[in-house]
Amino acid sequence: MVLSSNSLGVYNLKDALTKMDSLARRAVYIFTFTDHKRDDGFRDFLRQKEQRWHAAAGPAGYLIIYNLLADMGIYADIQIVDWQSDEHYGSLDEAVSEWKKMHDVADEREPDLREFLFQRLVKDEKGFCMHRQHRQAMISWQKSPSLSA
């Protein structure tokens, strides 16, 4: 089985899908965001702060993946799933440090990151919490068993 979870930000999507299909013996499962909330609006927040800042292209949308698979002769299933999670941080500084690493934020953008997190974190018994809700697509297909002659 091949599993890909929010990891198809590749230069050649067709090659990646072909490789996944060739490696799988039973099935392939791809999980990807459907609502462009991968970063909880952080890149949009930065764009509002400075019009010259441009985000790097992210992973292809789930319909692009699905249609490319169909073009390749792979007829996949799609299931849309809502999920939520809570991320806990002991302090605002801890949250800033983790997000800075996760989103590769330059030092000069740290004040903007701090402001973004300050607006979204909620104080709780563990320190601070970021409640996240997303919609994801699970794109999957089963491999046909080999037919013996």
pLDDT of residue 1: 95
How much is the pLDDT for 52?
47
pLDDT for position 14: 95
Domain 2-142 homologous superfamily, CATH: Vaccinia Virus protein VP39 (3.40.50.150)
> Mean pLDDT over all residues of the chain?
85
- Token readout for 40 is 């909880």
Q: At residue 147, does pLDDT exceed 80?
A: no
Section 58-69 average pLDDT: 88
Separation of alpha carbons 120 and 103, rounded Å: 16
Residues 6+ apart with CB under 8 A from 125: none
Task: Give the tokens for residue 7.
Answer: 């990891």
The answer on pLDDT for 106 being more than 80 is: yes
CA separation for the pair 26, 44 (Å, rounded): 39
pLDDT at 37 over 70: no
Instruction: Kindly state the average pLDDT of the residues 119-140.
Output: 91
Rounded Cα gap, residues 133 and 143, in angstroms: 32
